[in-house]
Structure 1
Amino acid sequence: MPSDCLSFTETSFLSPLLKDYVTQKKELQPFYNRYPEIESFQAQIAEKSNSYSRSSRAILVDEIRRQYTGLQKTEAVEEQLQKLLECNAFTVTTGHQLNLGTGPLYFLYKISAAINMSQKLNERYPDQHFVPVYWMATEDHDFEEINFFHLGGQKIQWNRPFGGAVGRMDLSGMEEVLIGLKHLLGPGKHNTALLQIIEEAYTDSPNLASATRHLVHTLFGEYGLVVLDADSAALKTLFVPAMRQELEQQSSYEAVTATNEALKQVHSEYKIQVNPRECNLFYLTDQKRERLVQDNGGFALADGSQYFKKDALLQELEEHPERFSPNVMLRPLYQEVILPNLCYIGGGGELAYWLQLRASFESFHVPFPMLQLRSTVLIWSAKQAANWEKLGLSRADLFKKREELVNFFVRRESALPLDFSDQKNLLVEQFKALHLLADQTDASFRGAVAAQERKQIKGLEHLEKRMLKAQKKKHKDQIERLTELHESLFPNGSLQERFDNITSHYHTSSGQLIDRLVKRVNPLECQVLLLTLDAD
């Protein structure tokens, strides 16, 4: 493994479920199909080839071409679309919300991973072709999750009335966002170039879906990334049989409920990410996206505004599939129905709910894709890296929580023993004899012995904290340098990739950030990447 890479197990931010997944715990294997190792793709190719039709390819490519109307496609994207028509072409997909200005950095990392993995697969399997796809979450309706990003510690926010699918929203109020961005971004040729990219995307587009496609295509189009909006009547026509089965049989509810119980049996600490509903479809209009619920033999909108007899709703599904929208339980299935997909790249929360879905896929007779946990990336400068090394800390130490890191550093630097574990263990051994004696007397004496033991251990813990506090004062200057450096890399104590935006680092890379990411973010080889950037 390269020196600037770490494994996920060297950090502390994976849940028990994801930790067991990346270490391929045997008991978890029934919940996924194949683990994403490059040799495993051959079997996945064979399985997907048998389930994805040439007619589906034609519909998919025609729809993508329609969506790119008015946008100058790169030669790389045009070549990808030509190859997608052939039966030996497959996709590697990642998906994300339509965050303002690309949102947090990990949005870029997911896309870079899909591109890099596709390139590696093209090298390994020259008789097939692999296309990276960014699936835009255009039907999502959580506007407050996507309407901001951070630059220099400041929050840039898009304020406007909202409702319905975010991809269909017009861009009213975006002028104020762009003015604020220009003010905060400041001068410099790379900042100016990035501002122009963002301004063009948001001023030349009729809605948020179009703007996001424009922005992502400008950043990644030369690498052959295909951007897909699945809020499409043509694509949903391919999904009608599955949506009909969902309305008639509640297949996903039964399958996922059983899977959730099975996951709990494997490990009590596994967190169930999402719970299924009896109907996992929304009814979608330009104004709103409202849940469909079973009601008196038919279906109603959850807000009570409309009721459908079952036959009438099924007829509307056939005639207007674009009015139906899958929720989080069915969106992955929709993706795998309309794409010749082999692998999905996602974050920990995403893969946690994908691991709930294999049985649901089987009930719909759709192949389950391989699941790849995206890489984590930490961007720092050569100076920051050197200062970290001067403190004598390892790169794995970067991912300790702030208080844990400071305590670790002080204990290591102190000439005095700050861990009283030996003394506490000795005390416990000494009290064993008193406990034996107490067992021969009455309950009150046993209680007194136990209380005295707790008191003395608590006293040692208090002394331990006092001594640690005193040593922190002694090493105050070093701790200040340590915490200042750690705060710059982990703003507000969170992962940098969840807080910072492309605008904070584009100029530092001399405008080469995207190229550096595409070349280095390879989740098959590097799980946690420490990427050194320095401006010209």
Structure 2
Amino acid sequence: MKVERFRWAPGQPLTRDYIDQFASVSPFYEYNPWEEGSERERAAWLDRDGRPQADRDGLVQALLAYNGKIGNTGANATAHIEALRDRRTLVVAGGQQAGLFTGPLLVLYKAITILVEARQASERLGRTVVPVFWIAGEDHDTDEVNHTYVLTDSLAVQKIKLNAAPDVKTSVSRWSVPREAWDDALDQLERSLMNTEFKAGLMERLRAIAAESDTLSDQFARTLAWLFGEYGLVFVDSDDASLRKLESGMFRPIVARQSELSAALLEAKERLAEAGYAAQVELAPEQAHLFAYERGERLLLHRSGDTFADRKGNVSFTAGELAELAEREPERLSNNVMTRPLMQDYLFPVLSAVLGPSEIAYWGLLRGAFALFGMRMPIVVPRYEFTLLEGTVQKQMGKFGLGFDDVVSRLDEKQDEWLKAQGSLQVEELFAETKAKFAALYDPVVETVSGINPGLRKLSETNRQKIVEQIEFLQTKTADAFRTQHDSALRQWERIRLSVLPLGKPQERVYNPFQYTVKYGDGWLRELIDVPLSRDGCHRIVYF
């Protein structure tokens, strides 16, 4: 496996500057990820007494129980959990929403980044650093996570969907998926994957995981534990009831300091705007940045004076009642995108947080919020980005003289150039010349007949249009015949496009990893984990 760097700039301007010129955005972040001293500075701060943090022994018990439930009971993962009892143990954390059959490739890349960052940080600091994958099971947008995509043999980007929906807007971790929905999704996946020596074993494993899974979060966690548990990756579900009890100590100040939290976030939004960046999260003064569960439904709270309620009035609390809820029933509360990073830092001694491009951008709002609660934002590390280039695609790119930059930046232009070189330009020019000559010959006819009888002008114009339409009809048929003649080559162009930019997006944001596992086994994934990679924010091309 060959791995090559490629400078593929993030779409988020703030993230682009974070990677390329950190000094210009340093006011929005606590530590420079490109300076060696940042890790030691962060570790020293985490060693301080008195910083807000959850009960460490309670955290260990919750992690042991949850990882036991999902089958992540290997020696390395268990040892990492137990290591958290030691106050010198640190954490590299990152996570994602639960997705069907892991969701897109980028989920695996985030897990790999967490593992590598933890391993390297442990070596640099000479102390245990535990890799933790945070499953955002409290999220309730099932339409974002109930599907995945694979590329079929017929060059179709096939959507595999879990055809079920919760009765109410509840968290993914509380949505019980019917058995028939699992079976249907597995059948869809099996039909879409190519037949190889690895397929039967892969499908057997995925069916066994689904059989043990009640929720999408269960299936997601068990699948990732199967893939990464042996490397010591520890998993946590943000909607785990045991974890919620530990979070009470953070929910209480979030409730008590609502106006200050809102002010800190809005001030950060203004400062970003002054620096030329748009905030990646919608913010308003009345947002409470918390959800509450009522009869299973997850409801976003808004603040009006001393009252907290959802938009439809299904639930309402005074500030005192919400504070009491945080104290006595924290499992009825849930974080939003702004308070989740604060809660993660409260639960774990986070040395660094592994984030994707959009996450890095919206974390630019949070430095003041961390400070408000006596915390400091952890080091923000960009997750690894990869594009997998299979051997067949590499050969086809070579055949057409395409570099990776050509594929991601100018593929349509390059394909048009190739078609013209095959003779399509001459055909286009021939028909253009024919239409021009016809117009030159026919225009005098129109004028002549109009002079004889003005009423004939409209008829002659209609006749002209019909003749032009027939010429264009023949031109279309000729173009189709030309494409049929070069159909095999054009399918190769399409395979290149769909391999690298399916649905117009980077491969890692669309395709499910098992479309590669079914072809190559799991060796490619293990190799990626072991490849010596540096923290540099670059995209990487992986040549199979």
The one of 155, 171, 177 aligned to 1:171:
177
Match of 1:214 in 2: 222
1:24 aligns with 2:21: yes
State the SS of the aligned residue for 1:280: strand
Deviations 1:28-59 (A, max 9, x none): 11101112237221111111222668973212
Partner Cα distance (1:256, 1:413) in 2: 58
Distance in 2 of aligned mates of 1:405 and 1:93: 42
- Per-residue CA deviation, residues 452-510 of structure 1 (Å, 9 max, x unaligned), is xxxxxxxxxxxxxxxxxx9xx99x89887545423332223221111110121112323
In structure 2, relative to structure 1, the CA distance for the partners of 1:182 and 1:385 (3 Å cut) is closer
Q: Is the 8 A contact 2:209 2:222 kept in 1?
A: yes
CA distance in 1, matches of 2:2, 2:215: 44
Which deviates more, 357-366 or 54-63? 54-63
Alignment check: 8 A CA contact 2:502 2:510 kept:
yes
How many angstroms does 1:181 deviate by?
2.2
1:303 is matched with which residue?
A: 312
Match of 2:207 in 1: 199
Alignment partners' CA distance in 1, 2:246 and 2:410? 47
Spell out the pairing of 1:413-428 with structure 2 (5 A cutoff). none
TM-superposed deviation, 1:375? 1.9
Q: 1:235 to 1:54 in 2, by over 3 A?
A: same
Tell me the equivalent position of 2:159.
Answer: 155
The 1:176/1:382 distance shift into structure 2, 3 A limit, reads closer
Contact 1:374 1:523 in 2 (8 A): no
1:139 partner letter: E
Large movers: runs of 4+ above 6 Å: 407-414, 476-480
Higher mean alpha-carbon deviation, 275-284 vs 518-527, is at 518-527
Corresponding residue for residue 8 of structure 2: 11
Larger radius of gyration: 2
- Measured against aligned partners, the alpha-carbon deviations of 1:82-101 in whole angstroms (never above 9, x if no partner) come to 21211221111111011111
Q: CA deviation at 1:385?
A: 2.1
With over 3 angstroms needed to count, the CA separation of the structure-2 counterparts of 1:274 and 1:526, relative to structure 1, is: closer
Give the conservation status (yes or no) of the 8 Å contact 1:148–1:158: yes
Relative to structure 1, the CA distance from residue 315 to residue 53 in structure 2 (aligned partners, 3 Å threshold; closer, same or farther) is closer
Residue 137 of structure 1 deviates from its aligned partner by 0.6
The 1:189–1:410 alpha-carbon spacing in structure 2 relative to 1, beyond 3 Å, is closer
Q: State the identity as a percent.
A: 26
**Residue from 266, 274, 287 that aligns with 2:281:** 274
TM-score of the pair, normalised by structure 2: 0.79
For residue 237 of structure 1, report the CA deviation from its aligned partner: 4.1
Q: SS in structure 2 opposite 1:231? A: coil
Equivalent residue runs for 1:56-205 within 5 Å? 56-70=55-69, 71=71, 73-125=73-125, 127-151=126-150, 152=152, 153-162=157-166, 163-172=169-178, 173-205=181-213
* Partner residue in 1 for 2:267: 258
> Which residue of the partner structure matches residue 33 of structure 2?
36
Partner of 2:340: 331
Distance 1:238 1:531 in 2: 41
Partner in structure 2 of residue 226 of structure 1: 234
**Does the 8 A contact of 1:5 with 1:530 survive in 2?**
yes
Q: What whole-Å deviation, never above 9, does each CA across 1:260-299 have from its counterpart, x for those lacking one?
A: 11111112xx231002343111002562100122246322
Distance in 1 (CA, whole Å) between partners of 2:24 and 2:9 is 22
Deviates more, 1:253-262 or 1:16-25: 16-25
Segments of 5+ residues of structure 1 without an aligned counterpart are: 415-469
- 2:436 aligns with none
1:308–1:213 Cα change, 3 Å: same
Distance 1:384 1:500 in 2: 16
| Helix, strand or coil at the partner of 2:354 | strand
Q: Output the CA distance in 2 between the equivalents of 1:66 and 1:11.
A: 41
Q: Is the 8 A contact 2:94 2:111 kept in 1?
A: yes
State the alpha-carbon separation in 2 of the partners of residues 3 and 66 from structure 1.
Answer: 40
Q: Distance in 1 between matches of 2:188 and 2:309?
A: 43
Q: Distance in 1 between matches of 2:43 and 2:421?
A: 51
- The 2-side partners of 1:117 and 1:96 are apart by 17
- Could you tell me which residue of structure 2 aligns to residue 343 of structure 1? 352
Question: Comparing 205-214 with 99-108, which one deviates more in the overlay?
Answer: 205-214
Once residues 522 and 355 of structure 1 are traced to their aligned partners in structure 2, the CA distance between those partners, rounded to angstroms, is 26
1:495 to 481, 506, 524: 506
- Secondary structure of 2:279's match? coil
CA contact (8 A) 1:113 1:522 kept: no
Q: Which residue of 2 aligns with 1:441?
A: none
CA distance in 1 between counterparts of 2:83 and 2:275 reads 42
Aligned partner of 2:465 in structure 1 is: none
Report the TM-score when normalising by structure 1. 0.81
For residue 168 of structure 1, report the CA deviation from its aligned partner.
1.3
Q: Match of 1:297, as an amino acid?
A: D
Which residues of structure 2 form unaligned runs of 5+?
424-478
Q: Residues 214 and 3 of structure 1: is their aligned pair in 2 closer, same or farther, counting only changes over 3 Å?
A: closer
Measured in 1, the distance between the counterparts of 2:356 and 2:273 equals 21
**Relative to 1, partners in 2 of residues 1:498 and 1:317: Cα closer, same or farther, differing over 3 Å?**
same
2: CA distance, partners of 1:518 / 1:207 = 28
Q: Which amino acid aligns with 2:32?
A: Y
Measure the CA separation in 2 of the matches of 1:194 and 1:302: 45
Change (3 A) 1:521 1:361: farther
Q: Separation in 2 of the partners of 1:404 and 1:266?
A: 36
CA distance in structure 2 between the partners assigned to 1:55 and 1:480 by the alignment: 56
Structure 1 residues 326-335 or 115-124, which shifts more?
A: 115-124
1:294-336 CA distance string (max 9 Å, x none): 2463222322112223322221221001111111110111111
Contact 1:276/1:329 (8 A) holds in 2:
no
Change (3 A) 1:411 1:522: farther
In structure 2, the CA distance between the partners of 1:85 and 1:53, relative to structure 1 (3 Å rule), is farther
| Residue-by-residue CA offset, 1:363-400 (whole Å, 9 max, x unaligned) | 11112011112122111123322432443333333321
Q: CA deviation at 1:340?
A: 1.1
Q: 1:227 to 1:301 in 2, by over 3 A?
A: same
Q: Which residue number corresponds to residue 365 of structure 1? A: 374
Is the partner of 2:25 in helix, strand or coil?
A: helix
Name the residue aligned to 1:316.
325
Distance 1:311 1:145, change over 3 A: same
Note the C-alpha offset of 1:225.
Answer: 0.5
The number of aligned residues is 471
**Is the Cα–Cα contact under 8 Å of residues 118 and 130 in structure 1 kept in the other structure?**
yes
